[in-house]
Structures are given as C-alpha cells and as structure tokens.
Amino acid sequence: ISAWFCSCPPAFKAAVLIQQWYRRHVARLEMRRRCTWRIFQSIEYSCEQDQIKLHNFFSYLMDQFTPSSSKERDFISRMFISGESYKEAELEKYCDYETIEVPDSYTGPHLSFPLLPDHATALLEAFQQKQQLHARYVLNLLHETRKHLKQLPNISHVSTCYSEEITVCGDLHGQLDDLFLIFYKNGLPSPSKSYVFNGDFVDRGKQSLEILVILFTFLLIYPKEVHLNRGNHEDHMVNLRYGFCAGLSVHGKKILRMFQNVFCWLPLATLIDQKVLIIHGGISDTTDLDMLEKIQRNRFVSVLRLKKRKESSGKPQIQAINGESESGTDAAPRLSLQPQSAQAPSTANRLEFSRWLRQTVQEQIDTCRRLVDISESEPEELTYSSMVDSETELYFLSELCQSFQVLDILWSDPMPQEGCRENKVRGGGCYFGPDVTERFLEKYSLQFLIRSHECKQEGYEFCHSRKVLTIFSASNYYEIGSNRGAYVKLGPDLIPHFVQYQANKTAHLLTMTQRISRVEESAFRALREKLFAHTSALISAFKSYDRDNTGKIALSNWATAVESVLRLGLPWRMLRPQLVRSAEDGMLEYKSWLDDLAMEQRSQEHIQSSLLEVIYRNRSNLETIFRIIDRDHSGLISFEEFQQTWKLFSSHMNIELTDDGINDLVRSIDFNKDGNIDFNEFLEAFRLVRQGPSDDTCFPAGVPLLW
C-alpha cells in the first residue's frame, strides 16, 4: 500500500493528507465535546444530590431541636411544613384575587374569563416586550387552572384521530425564547395543532413565570388540544433551590402557594393512541400504570419530602408524604418495594395487597436499613412485623409505595446495562435497562416511551433499541452553543419526526471549533470553582499521598485524590492538562496549584480565601435556606425569623448563643438599618460566625453538617 501511495500523483497525496488531518481534528473536537458534556452533567447531578442532602439536614435538625416555647414551635412548623397540601378554605384565602386592585397606571396585558385566543396572543406580545402580568390576573389564572386540572385523570389519553399531528416538547426550564421559537416554527396551539409539554417548565431560566402563564392560558383555551405533564422540577422543594421562587415579589407568597397546589394537580403521564407513553423521567421494574391511574396525585406536593423513621414507644409510626399524618407525628421509613415474584396488585383489594406486601417487604429489609439510615446499634430489630402490625400502618405503607411510583416516573433515567438499580447520581429515582423497558412495553402493549429529564446535545436521543426517546427543548442549556433544542411530531402512523433549533442568534454565528471552545471554557471554569470549594478536603487527600510532607504528589495520584473528594466520576487524567500545569518530574506542587485556584476566585470576590472556599461550597444551600425562611418571598427576612433560625442551627452545632448574642448579631449585619435581612446580609452572618473567636465557636468546614 505504501508503494502504491508513493506512486500516486501529488494532488491525490495532498487530498489524503488533508482528509487524515481533518479526521484527527474532528476526533479531537469530539473528544473535547464529550469531556465538556460530562463536566456539565456531573456538576448538575451533583447539585441535585445536594438538594437531597439539604433536606436530610433539615430533617435531622427537626429531630434534634426541641422548641422551648409555642412561638418557636409555630416558627418551625411554618418553616419546614410549607410544602403541605392546603385545604380548600386555606387556598381560597391565598387566591383572593378579587381583593387585589389593578392600578390605572398598569400598562400590561389584561385577562378576563373565560379566556379567548386573543388573550393568549396579547400575552405573547406583552412578554416579547418584557412586560409583566399583574398579580391579580396571575392568581385568577391559577385559580381557573387548578379547577380544570382537578377534573383530569392521572394519565391523559390523547388520540391522533382528532388532529393531524401531536407535538411533544421536553424541558423548557424557564427559557422563554425556546417556547417562542417552537410556536414560530410549529404554530400556536389550536383545534388542529395539539401539544404535549412534558414537564420541567420552571427553574434555572429567568422566565419560568411567563412560560407557566402562557401554557396555562393555552390549556384553558384549548383543553382538548394542550396537555401538560408534571416534571421533577414542578416540586416545592426543588423550586426552593433552583430559583423559581426567587422570581416572585409582589403578592409572592399567595402566588407561590397557588403554584405549589397547581403543580401537584398536574397529570403524571400522557398516552397517545394507547401506544406511546409520555412521562417526564422514566420507569422502574415496579412501575404500575394501574396504580398510577388510581393514586391521589395532589398529595405529593414534593416527592422529595420522604420522612425518616423516628422511634416512639418502641415501634415506628408511619407518616404520609408531605406531613399529612393521621396517626401521629413521627416519620416514616423510606421503603424500596421491588417485588421479584409478583406484580403489585391494586391497593383497592386490601387483603391481596397485604399478601403481596408480606412477600416483598421482608426481602427488602436490608435495603430499608440503608435508605432510612438506621444504625446497627439500635436495640430493636427491624422486621416486617415491627413495621406493619396494624391496618393503619399497612395503609400508610401503601401510601409510601404509591409515592415511589411517582418518584420513579419523575426522576428515573435509562441506562444501557440490563436491570434496574438506584439512581445515586441524581439522588432520586432509578436507572432502568433495556430489559425493564421491554417487559414494560410488552405488558402494556406499547410501541415506545417518550421521556425528557436529560439534556441531549442534538435535542433528542434514542436508546434501548429505539424503544425509549428522550426529547429536550431547552437549547443552549449549559452555555451558548452547548446543545440544540428539539421537539417531536407524531402523526397517526406514530412515526416520530424531529425539528431541531437554536434559540440564541450568537450560536448560529459560531463555527464548530468556536462553539466547543466557548462551552469548554465555561465548563472548566465551573469545574475550577468546584475544586476551589473543596480546597480543605483536597489538601487532606493530597497529604495522604505525601507521606514525607514534601508538598508534592505524583500526577497519577492527583487524579485519584481529586475523584475521592469530588466524586463526580470524571476522567481526571484526560482533564488534567486543562487544570494542572505540566511538571517535568511528574510531580505536582499541590499547595501552589491550590493557591492559583484561590487567586483566580479572589480576583472575582475580594474575600478571605478560606472563607470564600466555604461560601463557594455552600452558597446554593444558603440561598435555599434563605428562601425557606423568607416566607413571603420578598427577598427579606425579619429579625424574628433570623433569630429563630440561628437558635435552630446553634442547637445542632452546640454553639452557645444567648438571645442577647443573637440580637447583637442581627443588628450588626443589618447594614441599611431597615429592620430586615437581605441575602447579602445573611451571608455576612455566615461570615461572622465562621470567623468566630475560636474554632469551637464557628461552623466546621462544610457546614451545614450533612452537606
């Protein structure tokens, strides 16, 4: 071959060399793209794990803190049970839109009910011009939407017989430009243009409220053509972390309460022609559509609020999801019911369900121990009889079983391997393999599943032999140029037709190399922040390889140590050239490297390095805590709420803080002397306590403790 190549004309040789160079170039770009993608995805899922840990932290505080007065007890109740379902009378109080006057100076859109297509057009034009809808109309819209959603089944049934095609959209995540582009390319909802929006309308993007207003408006105008599924971000606890609540100001408390209730009334799935199932996340080996059809979906304001077991009189009591206990106030164990020999029967037949439960619960005792965090030193052996020894407790166990049905379809992801296992990467749901998909489709006579929940570079992706389709509609999700958005259209033949797009004009002007370089730069910047936020832990890990205290470690040990601390599952050896300067002797001066990371972050924040590390590590958690305390979501918390919160924290961390000491602290951080604490002042309180007079009177690194 080499002899033949040498005899070829020069022009042919040049063409071959150019082709080889181009293929190497494209391969390198693809490798960089994949590494960048893994960085973004690992950091995103790590944040979702932090949300679970934060809830566990609050649960632990609640277990350890004993209120000393009725005022403290009321505060704790308000602070941590804000996700509960409300009774009709309470919701009417929050939805008193008729008492809110619209001033003459208001120039935004007006709504009157019943809604007409002209109202939707006016809303679209107003939001394009950056106008806002008055709180009166928002509350009125939520009131009407809630009434409509309450009439819908858990699984919506749609037929292609009544429309030419059905358009399915995935996650939008507050990116209004993507929704505008979908309507521009595909047309507005109408009697001949049906849509299914598959959850995750909110969070991360800045225009979640506008997206919800538009979707709810079209839902009320075209109730037979517009269908909304619930996503894992239509959840009170998730909203607190990812910013949807932060966008609410005037009448924010009322609006938020209504959104919480509307979210829990959203249908869980949509079925097209009895052949294509649309769910937000995925399935598990225990997913039962018959059970999902029958559950009371509005009970699950947050599927993350699964209470832990607490001892009472030697026996665990069971509490329903979201704190709606009928037999006590103690917490429920997290059960992972995975029947091996029989499918879960309907809970309507109590005797049959009891027999099935007896077959399966005992097999899962070890799993229950791990999930509910029960210590081996506890005197009482956890057995089936100690868990389920009354009809009342059996009823609540069935409630827990139903809650995990909802958790699985909202949080699960497909995997290429066979089987079904816990999704530890996200912290909720499971991973399901092609065998689980095949059995599920065969059982319910389905052709394929459509799900969302995961960002895909092209906006969509098939897996499991084209039996599972992921559709994601938020373009430029991680960074400009990171991914396309897409939607899929299904006709009577149920053959999917995809439309891809980029909602950002800048992305169209970038070459592939420029786009990858821009996204790569953003990914490594986020990764460096993550590394800096764990400086203390990294030093400890490095020292375990530096037995002689030389201040140096081998580059191969650097990768192992970094993964042991961050646990992101990244190819650190491949990423090392972008993060670490090359060393001639193969050794890294890790203290110098960490100092460089600190300098990079200090150039953006003029704060002491050790404190900045802690703030970087805990800022999103602190923001979530602040939003929980900020009951009316005004961006401010009162002195009293601040004082009660610090009493709770100090009791957990064994910090001696008197009432006078807390009062002095709150007055010292109220810089503008307005009698309230904003988030920047709240961070200042964290700084003051962190820099206390001794290590025994300040936050340990990484506090709150369970993060």
| Torsion angles phi and psi, residue 425, rounded to 5 | -65, -45
Residue 537, C-beta contacts closer than 8 angstroms, at least 6 positions apart? 565, 701, 702
Peptide bond into 114 cis (omega under 30): yes
Q: Which of these, 450, 417, 414, 416, lies nearest to 432 by C-alpha position? A: 414
Query: Rounded to whole angstroms, how far apart are CA atoms 367 and 70?
Result: 38
Q: Which residue has the tokens 């970038």?
A: 510
d(CA 149, CA 169) in angstroms, rounded, equals: 19
Which strands sit side by side in the sheet containing 166-169, from one edge to the other?
Answer: 226-228, 194-197, 166-169, 485-490, 496-501
673: number of Cβ within 10 Å:
7
Which tokens hold the place of 201? 């309308």
Give DSSP secondary structure letters for 619-670. HHHHHHHHHHH-TT-SS-EEHHHHHHHHHHHHHHHT----HHHHHHHHHHH-
Residue in 233, 236, 464, 534 annotated catalytic: 233
- Beta strand 552-554 with 468-471 is unpaired
As a whole number of angstroms, the distance between CA 603 and CA 468 comes to 46
Q: Is 298 exposed, middle or buried (0-12, 13-18, 19+ CB in 10 A)?
A: middle
Q: The dihedral of CA 375, 377, 380, 382: what is its sign?
A: positive
Cα dihedral 91, 92, 95, 100 sign: negative
Strand ranges for 549-613 from DSSP E: 552-554, 587-589
Task: Please confirm whether the linkage preceding 379 is cis (ω < 30° from 0).
Answer: no
Binning the chain into helix, strand and coil, the percentages to the nearest 5 are: 50, 10, 40
Contact predicate 170/452, CB 8 Å: yes
Q: Is 366 helix (H, G, I), strand (E, B) or coil?
A: helix
Q: Which of 291, 365, 368, 361 is nearest to 332 (CA)?
A: 368
Please tell me the distance from the alpha carbon of residue 513 to that of residue 449, in angstroms, as a whole number.
Answer: 35
Tokens of 473: 């509609």
Residues sharing a CB contact under 8 Å with residue 134, sequence separation 6 or more, in sequence order: 100, 102, 106, 108
Determine contact, residues 249/634, Cβ cutoff 8 Å: yes
233 is catalytic: yes
List residues with catalytic annotation.
Answer: 233
